[in-house]
Amino acid sequence: MSQTIAISAQNVIKAFGHGEHAVRALDDVSLDIRKGEFFTLLGPSGCGKTTLLRLIAGFEMPSGGTILLDGADITNLPPNKRPVNTVFQSYALFPHLTVAQNVAFGLEMLGKSKSEVSARVAEMLALVKLDHLAARKTSQLSGGQQQRVALARALAPQPKVLLLDEPLSALDLKLRKEMQIELKRLQLETGITFVFVTHDQEEALTMSDRIGVMSSGHLQQVGSPKEIYTRPRNRFVASFIGETNFLPATREALGYRLDCGIVVQAPASQAQRVTLTIRPEQLRLVPEAEGDVPVKITNLVYFGTDTHCHMSLPDGTEVVARLQSPSDGESGLQVGQGIGLRFLPGALQVLEE
């Protein structure tokens, strides 16, 4: 993959309202999105994902900062001058036009010739597998079909960047899974840079080349799904992506002393008081004498393939381990039992506060 930058947001600020009612939807966000990658903006509701997307599309003007597209400043260009297209969450299909006319709209506005438009429309409809519905009105389509029309319409003018604002959130689970695969395929086939917004962490992990995790107007961490999952930078990222355990600790010469008094190893850090984190699947239960920490089982929750084992450390800190359920369903564990807990080597991470 080429490493040149498609979209570059530099110190972007977006404030809504004035005076004491002002809301900073984006607070000094800097971000580089590479050409041809599937980039996901992930974060809880209200964190500013849509706002950032709308700034890239040109529907909103930033209160500060610059936005570059292929190195050129597009901060002040109106949306109809940006080679960027959007798939809207509501689809926003034109109700008075057929499927084919919807897909043709952007091409016609760009002044393409009739033959070029019809060839491209046919190509796009084939790409999203809607050839047979070309003459339908969009109101006569299912949600998934409307979704595909919205995709074809946005892809038809061959934008440099495709923006997708939670395009799958209105679909039911099964269709959503299908469309996730479909989207990934479209991105690979067209080679267009996708900027995808979601608040579903699983969706982000499975689809993205890289993820930008946002919270309250700030970009918390940018990295590949693996990086984000295994080396979360701070408490927010660690808890937002997947489940995790937090262990308060103090830095010492030979490692970190957990609040229960036991010293463990983890990557170096500047701070004195830190929070260590470890994923539930990186914990192992062993006989009490062989463990790193002695714990007491407080609850066992059976999930089929997995069993979640809730435990408390001597100082009362709660942790959860995810264990594979044994084939006979009998783990031999019991609530109230004392047992040893072992951290997989290298699994403990240090979080910035």
Partner 1 sequence: MSGAPLSGPSQAEAALAAKTVRGGWLLSLPALVLLAVAAVGPLLIMVVYSFLLPGEYGNVEWGFSFDAWTGILFTRDVFDDTLRLEDAHLSILLRSVNLSLLTTIFTFAVGFPTAWFIATRPQRQRALWLFLITIPFWTNLLIRTLAINEIIRAEGLLNNILIGLGLIDQPLQIIYTDTAVFIGMTYVYLPLMVLPLFAAIDRFDMRLLEAGYDLYATRFQVLRRIIVPVVKPGIIAGSILVFVPALGAYVTPRILGGGKQMMIGNFIELQFGQGRNWPLGAALSVTLLVIVTAALLVYVRFANREVRHG
Ligand X SMILES: Nc1ncnc2c1ncn2[C@@H]1O[C@H](COP(=O)(O)OP(=O)(O)OP(=O)(O)O)[C@@H](O)[C@H]1O
Q: Which residues bind Mg ion (CB under 5 A)?
A: 50
Binding letters toward partner 1, positions 121-150, x by CB under 8 A = -------------------xxx--x-----
Report, in Å, the least distance between residue 103 CB and partner 1. Answer: 10
The set of residues, in sequence order, having a beta carbon less than 8 Å from that of 346 and lying 6+ positions away, is: none
Residue whose token pair is 């061959």: 158
Q: Are strands 161-165 and 84-87 parallel, antiparallel or unpaired?
A: parallel
Report, in Å, the least distance between residue 17 CB and ligand X. Answer: 6
Q: Residue 175 burial by CB count (10 A; 0-12/13-18/19+): exposed, middle or buried?
A: middle
Q: Does 190 bind partner 1 (CB under 8 A)?
A: no
What is the chain's Cα-based Rg?
25
Q: Does 167 bind partner 1 (CB under 8 A)?
A: no
Residue of minimal Cβ distance to ligand X? 50
Report, in Å, the least distance between residue 298 CB and partner 1. Answer: 49
Q: Which stretch binds partner 1 (CB under 8 A): 7-15, 54-62, 302-310, 318-326?
A: 54-62
Q: Does 48 bind ligand X (CB under 6 A)?
A: yes
- Hey, how many other C-beta atoms are within 10 angstroms of the C-beta on 58? 19
Pair 218, 51: CB distance under 8 Å: no
* Strand segments (E) across the chain: 5-16, 23-34, 38-42, 64-69, 72-73, 84-87, 161-165, 193-198, 210-215, 218-223, 245-252, 255-258, 263-264, 273-278, 283-286, 293-302, 306-312, 318-324, 338-343, 349-351
The set of residues, in sequence order, having a beta carbon less than 8 Å from that of 238 and lying 6+ positions away, is: 232, 244, 246, 277, 349, 351
Report, in Å, the least distance between residue 141 CB and partner 1. Answer: 6
Cβ closest to partner 1, residue 125 vs residue 319: 125
Q: Does 16 bind partner 1 (CB under 8 A)?
A: no
Q: Which of 199, 210, 233, 279 binds ligand X (CB under 6 A)?
A: 199
Report, in Å, the least distance between residue 98 CB and partner 1. Answer: 8
Q: Does 4 bind partner 1 (CB under 8 A)?
A: no
Residues that bind partner 1 (CB under 8 A): 57-59, 78-81, 84-86, 88, 90, 92-97, 101, 105-106, 109-110, 140-142, 145, 153-154, 157
